[in-house]
Amino acid sequence: MEPGGARISQLRRGVLEFCVLSLLGDEELYGFELVRRLGEVDGMVTTEGTIYPLLSRLRRDGWVTSSWVESEAGPPRRYYALSEAGKGALASFTDEWVRFRDAVDALMLGERS
Amino acid sequence: MSGTAVDGLVEDYLGRLERAAWSLPEERRQDLLEGIGEHIASARAGGADDEQGVRELLRRLGSPEEIVAEAVGEEPAAGARPASLAREGWAVGLMTGGSLLPFLGWVAGVGLMWSSARWTVREKLLGTLVLPFGAAGGWYLATFVHAARAECGPQTRSTLGSGRGVTQVCEAGSVDGALLTGAAAWLVVSVAVAVVLWRRAGSRRGVVSALGGGDAADSPWTGLEITAIVLLSAGNFLFPVAAPLAGLVLAICSRAWRLWEKVVAGLLCLPPWVLIAVFFSRAGDVPGLPTGNEVLLLGFVSVFVLSGVAALFLGLRLRGRS
pLDDT in tens, B266-321: 888 777 777 777 776 765 566 666 666 666 677 777 777 888 888 888 888 877 76
Q: What is the mean pLDDT of chain A?
A: 88
Please give the mean pLDDT across all residues of chain B.
73
Chain A interface, mutation test: which of B38, B58, B66, most A Cβ atoms within 10 Å?
B38
Contact state of A48 with B38 under an 8 Å Cβ cutoff: no
User: What does the pLDDT average to over B116-136?
Assistant: 74
Give the lowest-confidence range in A12-21, B53-62, B63-72, B113-122. Answer: B113-122
Give chain A positions within 8 Å (CB) of B34.
78
Report how far residue B58's alpha carbon sits from residue B77's, in angstroms, rounded to the nearest whole number: 30
Distance of CA B201 to the CA centre of its chain: 13
| Chain A residue numbers touching B66 (CB-CB < 8 A) | 47, 49-50
Contact A30 B36 (CB under 8 A): no
pLDDT of residue B162: 46
pTM: 0.46
B171 CB-side CA count, 13 A: 2
The one-letter amino acid code at B194 reads A
Distance from CA of B122 to the nearest CA of A (A): 22
Q: Note the pLDDT tens digit of each residue in B58-112.
A: 999 999 988 998 888 876 644 334 456 776 777 777 766 665 555 666 777 777 7
Biggest CA–CA distance in chain A, Å, is 55
Q: What's the confidence (pLDDT) of residue B155?
A: 43
Beta-carbon separation of A56 and B42 below 8 A: no
Given pLDDT bands bounded at 50, 70 and 90, which one contains residue B218?
A: very low
- Report DSSP letters for B86-145, one per residue: HHHHHHHHHHHHGGGSTTHHHHHHHHHHHH-SSS-HHHHHHHHHSSTTGGGHHHHHHHHH
C-alpha to C-alpha distances, B25 to A27, A61, B301, B318, nearest whole angstrom: 31, 17, 46, 30
B74·A53 Cβ contact <8 A: yes
